[in-house]
């Protein structure tokens, strides 16, 4: 992808209960991640059975997906922290490569310092 002028980054996707999403966001913030995207009302099927997207009288039991893209240099603390958080509560984490056109948007400069 380098020939396209893109820079390699690490993408971290976390699916967790809406109640626990704050902890994930706090961790990302504390790790210097420059931004993230949250998707609420996520549904699916997993270890704990079926997850509905939304309940009529409960906004907390739903799932949230938090997506963050960060420089590879920042990945270790984020993944370590997320692993610790998810050790005690339901949720999954996906880590993969991603390519971006404006690396400075994702804190690449600061990570290099």
Partner 1 sequence: MDVALVLGVLIGPASAVLGALVVPDPRRAARVVGALLGLSAVAATALLVRVAADPAVPGVLVRVDALGPAFSVGVRVDRFTALFVLLVCGLAAVVAGYARRYLDGEPGARALQARVAAATTATLVMATAPSLVQLAVGWIAAGHLLVGLIGHYRDQPRVRAAARRTRRLFLVGDAALVAGLALLVTPAGDADLDAVRATAGARPGWLLATAGVLLLVAAMVRSAQVPAHRWLPSTLDAPTPVSAFLHAGMVNVAGFLMITLASVVTAAPGMMPAMVLVGLATAVSGLLFAAVRTDVKGTLARSTVAQMGFMLAQCGLGAFGLAAVHLVGHAVYKAYAFLSAGGTLQAQARAAGTPRPEGPPPTRPRVLAAATVIVTVLATELLLGTTATGALSAALVAAAALAAVWSALADRALPARTAAALTVTVAALAGGHLVAGRAVEGWLALPTGTSLLGVGAVACVLAVVAVAGTVLRRRPSATLWWWAWHDGAAIPRARRTAPPDGPTPAALTVPRPGLLDRSDGARVVAAATAAADHVGAVGPLDAFVAVNPLAGRERVPFARATAELRDLAGTRTHLPAAEYRQRLRDGRITPADLAAVLPPPPRVAGAVLLGHRRIDVTDLQVAVLSQPVHDGPPPPADLLAVARRRLAELPARPRPRTPGEAGPHTLAETVDRALGTRTTVDVDDLVAAWCAAHSGRPAALWPVPGPTDAGCWARWRRMAGADPALARWGVTGLATLVDALPEAPEQAVAVLLRAMGVPPAAWSTYLSRSLLRLPGWAGHARWAQANPGQGPALSPLDLLAVRLTYEYALAGAAAQRHLELPPVLDSIAAATPATLPRSAGITPEALARLAGALDVDVAMLACLPGETVATLRDVACQLTPSRQSEVWLAAAEHAYRRRLRYRLDRGADRPAVDAPTLTQAVFCIDVRSEGLRRHLEATGPVDTYGFAGFFGLPVRTVTAGARRGRDRCPVLMRPVATVEAARAGRAARSRQAWRRAYAAAKANPVGAFAFVEVAGVLATAALLLRAAAPGRFVPPADHTAPTVADLTTAMSLDEQVYYAEATLRTIGLTAGFAPLVLLCGHGATSANNPYAAALDCGACGGNRGGVSARLVAGMLNRPEVRAALTDRGIHLPDGTHVLAGEHDTVTDEVRLFDMDAVPAGLRPAVEELTGRLAGAGARLRAERAARLPGRPRPRRLPRRAGDWAQVRPEWALAGNAAFIAAPRELTAGVDLGCRTFLHSYDWTGDRDAAALEAIMTGPLVVAAWINLQYYFSTVDPQRLGAGTKTVHTVLGDALGVLSGSGGDLRLGLPLQSVADGTRPAHEPLRLLAVIRAPHHLVDAVLGRNPGLRHLVDGGWLSLTVVDPGTGAWSEPAPGGSWRALPAPRHVTAPTTEPPARHPAPATEKEYTA
Contact between 34 and partner 1 by CB under 8 A: the answer reads no
Single residue of 36, 42, 81, 98 touching partner 1 by CB under 8 A? 81
- DSSP letter string over the chain? -GGGT-EEEEEEEEEEEHHHHHHHHHHHHHTT----EEEEEE-EEETTEEE-S--SS-SSSSEEEEEEEE-HHHHHHHHHHHHHHHHSSSEEEEEEEEEES-GGGGTHHHHH-
The reply on whether position 109 binds partner 1 by CB under 8 A is no
Q: Is 80 in the site for partner 1 (CB under 8 A)?
A: yes
Q: Select from 2, 3, 4, 48 the one that contacts partner 1 (CB under 8 A).
A: 48
Alpha carbon distance 102, 97 (integer Å):
15
Between residues 83 and 110, which has the closer beta carbon with respect to partner 1? 83
| Interacting span for partner 1 (CB under 8 A) from 4-12, 25-33, 92-100, 102-110 | 25-33
| Contact stretch for partner 1 (CB under 8 A) within 6-14, 64-72, 74-82, 97-105 | 74-82
- In whole angstroms, what is the distance from residue 35 CA to residue 48 CA? 29
The residues binding partner 1 (CB under 8 A) are 17, 20, 22-23, 26-27, 30-31, 48-52, 55-61, 76-78, 80-85, 88-90
């Amino acid at each position: 992808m380098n020939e396209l002028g893109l820079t390699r980054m690490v993408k971290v996707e976390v699916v967790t209960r809406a109640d626990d999403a704050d902890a994930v966001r706090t961790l990302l913030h504390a790790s210097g991640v420059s931004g993230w995207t949250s998707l609420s009302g996520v549904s699916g099927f997993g270890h704990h059975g079926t997850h509905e997207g939304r309940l009529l009288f409960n906004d907390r039991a739903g799932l949230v997906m938090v997506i963050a893209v960060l420089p590879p240099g920042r990945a270790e603390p984020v993944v370590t922290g997320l692993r610790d958080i998810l050790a005690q509560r339901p949720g999954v984490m996906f880590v993969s490569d991603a390519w971006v056109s404006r690396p400075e948007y994702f804190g690449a400069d600061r990570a290099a310092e």
